[in-house]
Amino acid sequence: MVNPTYFEAIKWASSFLTKNKKEDASSFLMQERFNLDQTHLLLNYRHAMAAADWHQFQADIRQFAADVPAQYIVGHTHFYGHRFRVTDATLIPRPETEELVEWALELGERPLNVLDLGTGSGAIGISLKLARPNWQVTASDISAAALTVAKQNAQELGATVTFQQSDMFKSLTQQTFDLIVSNPPYIANSETVVMDASVLKFEPKTALFSGTDGLNFYRRLLSQLPLHLNTSGYFFGEFGFKQKTALSQLVQQQLALVARFKKDITGHDRMMRIQYKEV
């Protein structure tokens, strides 16, 4: 096919992906690669693509057919109304995590000292800072490569965030926070058999897996949380939809803490808020 129209290119891509038993990401890749919203894509449907753009689009589709996530192909994703750079050093932020951000923002407008623990692309911490400019936000991650991406996102989005490389709280030993938020690794090692090939092949395993039951991160976190959470503070975290009971038991072992759980939009228990028990 030589210089197809945008419509013909989309039609080719849809057919190619169907034959390769992949979901149809043709419109997403077309729009995100060439910065077209749905209206402008439709307006261009009968226009011929430039040769360079057609070659790029074919390359993108073939990468997607080879399990490369669409967000990594175009180099960005959308989260809480903002566009974030993503690479294979960062987890791709999921729409469900926007609900965690929304829940944390219910704390209101008062100034808070905030930690985004395991920030990855910076999606949570930067979104919180943009929504609450008077919050002082620190974003930490064990991965230097992830922090490089997060810093780029903060700069491009105009968010003043402090970044710190740290394994859990190791480099934050003397710091305490009013709010700690995290979308940590929580997948059990045994769950690889039910995961998408694209996730297993390309997304960072340190951001996904957390031991045989997926709760190793939370065990470490809960043992150290009282040292870093102010007495009137809150922890908000995401977890797997089958982990509520086990997490509730872990929190109960920390006698000073109490947890409240929240369902996501699909009706699964996926978020947790921890605070100190009232005396």
Token match 């077309």: residue? 30
Q: Is 80 left (phi over 0), alpha (psi -120 to 50) or beta?
A: left
Binding annotation: 118-122, 141, 183-186
Q: Which residues pair with 84 in a beta bridge?
A: 77
Residues in the annotated binding site for substrate:
183-186
Which residues belong to the annotated binding site for S-adenosyl-L-methionine?
118-122, 141, 183
Radius of gyration for the chain, computed over Cα atoms and rounded to the nearest angstrom: 21
Buried b (16+ CB within 10 A) or exposed e, 7-40: ebbbebbeebbeeeebeebbebbbebbbebeeee
Judge whether 215 and 247 are in contact, CB under 8 Å.
yes
